[in-house]
Structure 1
């Protein structure tokens, strides 16, 4: 069937200052590796084409461009970043009436490549495909993967030549905090206002001006980070250029899911100070929103009043995060309507898990069964805690926990094994993992829910660029 994408582009209608227009760079021999048929249907896309999703052919209606943005990276401001290896083909209106971006990642160099080759190798492409789709199945806002295409040509990385690939990423938009920062930093107030109006119309149509936008993004990010925490997810690179206005998870470079619980857990090889450790993620989310607020302040003549309003909005965010966290973790231990008085009970379990090295996912999945205490060496301590939990739960607790506690996550050792197999031409582990992660609240593959053995532990993750 001939490929048809019903493009309805809006970002390309913004001023030229927002992007650089260019086509993707063709590759040698494109071949389809993975195709998300269900997502294609949702987007109104019919047919498929390796040539299009590798960047060799620009489909009818597309307006290819690389987006401009800046960002704080590990706390230091970089005045110009932008899509250095990605091209936005355009947008579609999906079956539910929502506008969605279609972007190629690994599609060649752009004016923002900063001497990079603009390419991606197979490992990070499959990693993002699997994990982003797993996050969607978990019910967590995220970008998604439509296609993975082999390029037929190698890319050179520290490990040597590796097979090249291109990912087709779907997002409700690719607007980031860094998109606002670059225009604010440059003093381009007209462009900043245009961007703000565009973001409000696209994502927060009920927002009352820039401060309404800020409030909306703060709430969305609070909900997002709480959802990450509830499944043991560590983003690993929460820079402001990876913080979306929509409240979707974006950039699955050095991310990871915890096995044994520890609040200070870090996997990202580039996070040397633990800035983006598991337990630091709420604090960083607030910091990122403060950077968005700082950018939006440039739109106001009365700076003093604007600073006061923005400060109130950002200072409210820790409370929003705590409320969202309590809602998520309360459900994980079977509480119908958790209150602040239940927080010590949740924290006591987390402390027991950290002291015992208990597996995060499997401990919560086992609550309400006879297997829960087997996750601990100090079973008496767990039994004492569980007795307290029972005093707070009701007959619906089992049902509540079943919906809140996944039984399978994209464990690091399984992701790495899948990539190793794919590099050697074996796609069976990719297909097996993708299928199992599509139903995370049920065990459909006994082996995939198990934590790693000592020899299987993956201690560090890498961005893959």
Structure 2
């Protein structure tokens, strides 16, 4: 095999209670859709011929050094605790240490049933695979921490969902797949030795030098606070912020019913399964705090001085909303051209967002247009913007280079929902042109690309995507 992956596996060295050893289930006729050569170079992965890569990334032929496992975890799903989840349709092949010195997991998603499948087929259909490939790589290009896509393959098999769909497998790369739910499962079972082992592993892998369980909690609070503020700044809605989708490493993980807002409204929900709006755009900071509180509850279980641990964990979690607010404010200050802070900035930003919501302004295009003269055109009543912009322009006079600040903070291109759906429909018909075009344009989201101006356009009434769906 000319495809080589320099595996250096650590999670597979942990006790067997952490995972199930599980090989991918071979598929009938794999065909390579995409291979991320730039990411492969970082991972020190050497590519092979096209068919060889198709076989490997479908799980039909395991590269040397792979130790396939399905990881165990539990989690709160929409607020209700599920005592056992785990990788029901994914297999971790192993880990590499990249050219940048970072250890990363390489995982096949959609690779067949595992002991954690809960009567599922363990497969993925083409649409969610392409969505995750496009959106995760777009998030990376936006500068937001995220899992990434190394490859996508067709399986040559049919997956049954609402109707028969073409099957596919994604090769996902993450700094790890440790989740809040990974800690919860051992805490709930009272398996404190495993919980200690996991805590030590997480600290050594992600936050070397922090002090014990509460040090880990502080580190996760900080990375999650930065992550959620970054999501908010580009109008991203995760859709399923369950604790099993909350990464200890601080990466965006599990792109199921995710979406980027077109018209701005704080209560926007896309996920078809979020009927009560728990994970609406504006609720994401509060949910992040809630998720981290569940991590705190788990970590406390193996601290000897419980009373002191509860007091310290409470202080850490209660500090998170303010940390989130400050990260959010830094991000949104930049979006309106402010590199410095002023007492009235929060009120000014909130006022703009309120006016945007009342005037059906497109989130991305409005902020991008602030660097020119077209922002008012995004409002149903342009005078509403004019009334706000008078004070804003006075505030900008105290800034050195607001245009450059805005250009770096406001993307021109995001993976708009209707374009992602159109891309998927084309691919189902065998046309991958829109998929490759989206990946190309979204790899430079902050650059003006006149030939791709159509990808900046909000959806027409008939193109609006009202709901997005989980691939299962």
Q: TM-score per shorter chain, which class?
A: over 0.9
- Indicate the SS of the match to 1:72: strand
CA distance in 2 between counterparts of 1:211 and 1:45 reads: 36
Q: CA deviation at 1:391?
A: 1.5
**Per-residue CA distance 1:308-362 (angstroms, 9 max, x = gap):** 0000000000011001000000000000123453100000000000000100000
CA distance in 1 between counterparts of 2:153 and 2:383 reads: 52
In structure 1, runs of 5+ residues without a counterpart are none
**Per-residue CA distance 1:147-178 (angstroms, 9 max, x = gap):** 001101111111x1111000000000000000
Question: Given the superposition, is the C-alpha separation of residues 135 and 340 from structure 1 closer, same or farther in structure 2, using an over 3 Å criterion?
Answer: farther
The answer on 1:110 being equivalent to 2:114 is yes
Q: 1:402 aligned to 378, 388, 407, which one? A: 407
**Per-residue CA distance 1:233-277 (angstroms, 9 max, x = gap):** 000000000000000000110000000000000000000000000
- Where do residues 320-331 of structure 1 align in structure 2 (5 Å cutoff)? 320-331=323-334
Instruction: Say whether the 8 Å CA contact 2:54–2:153 is kept in structure 1.
Output: yes
- Indicate the SS of the match to 1:220: helix
Worse overlay, 300-309 or 181-190: 300-309
CA distance in 1 between counterparts of 2:222 and 2:340 reads: 20
Q: CA deviation at 1:301?
A: 2.2
Instruction: Say whether the 8 Å CA contact 1:326–1:338 is kept in structure 2.
Output: no
Q: CA deviation at 1:395?
A: 3.8
The answer on 1:300 being equivalent to 2:278 is no
CA distance in 2 between counterparts of 1:368 and 1:266 reads: 29
**Per-residue CA distance 1:48-98 (angstroms, 9 max, x = gap):** 411110000111001000000000000000000000000000000011000
CA distance in 2 between counterparts of 1:122 and 1:284 reads: 30
Q: 2:368 aligned to 365, 368, 393, which one? A: 365
- Indicate the SS of the match to 1:60: coil
Question: Given the superposition, is the C-alpha separation of residues 340 and 182 from structure 1 closer, same or farther in structure 2, using an over 3 Å criterion?
Answer: farther
In structure 2, runs of 5+ residues without a counterpart are none
Q: CA deviation at 1:380?
A: 1.8
Q: CA deviation at 1:218?
A: 0.4
CA distance in 1 between counterparts of 2:342 and 2:116 reads: 48
TM-score of the two chains, using structure 2 as the length reference: 0.97
Q: 1:446 aligned to 435, 442, 453, which one? A: 453
- Indicate the SS of the match to 1:50: helix
- Indicate the SS of the match to 1:368: coil
TM-score of the two chains, using structure 1 as the length reference: 0.99
Instruction: Say whether the 8 Å CA contact 1:331–1:400 is kept in structure 2.
Output: yes
Instruction: Say whether the 8 Å CA contact 1:177–1:243 is kept in structure 2.
Output: yes
- Indicate the SS of the match to 2:344: helix
- Where do residues 89-104 of structure 1 align in structure 2 (5 Å cutoff)? 89-104=93-108
CA distance in 2 between counterparts of 1:45 and 1:32 reads: 16
- Give the match for residue 68 of structure 1: 72
CA distance in 1 between counterparts of 2:371 and 2:155 reads: 48
- Where do residues 409-424 of structure 1 align in structure 2 (5 Å cutoff)? 409-424=414-429
- Give the match for residue 153 of structure 2: 149
Instruction: Say whether the 8 Å CA contact 2:239–2:280 is kept in structure 1.
Output: yes
Instruction: Say whether the 8 Å CA contact 1:92–1:101 is kept in structure 2.
Output: yes
- Give the match for residue 471 of structure 2: 464
User: Which 4+ residue blocks in structure 1 deviate beyond 2 angstroms?
Assistant: 338-341
- Indicate the SS of the match to 2:301: helix
- Where do residues 74-93 of structure 1 align in structure 2 (5 Å cutoff)? 74-93=78-97
The answer on 1:51 being equivalent to 2:55 is yes
- Give the match for residue 16 of structure 1: 16
RMSD: 0.8
Q: 1:212 aligned to 212, 215, 221, which one? A: 215
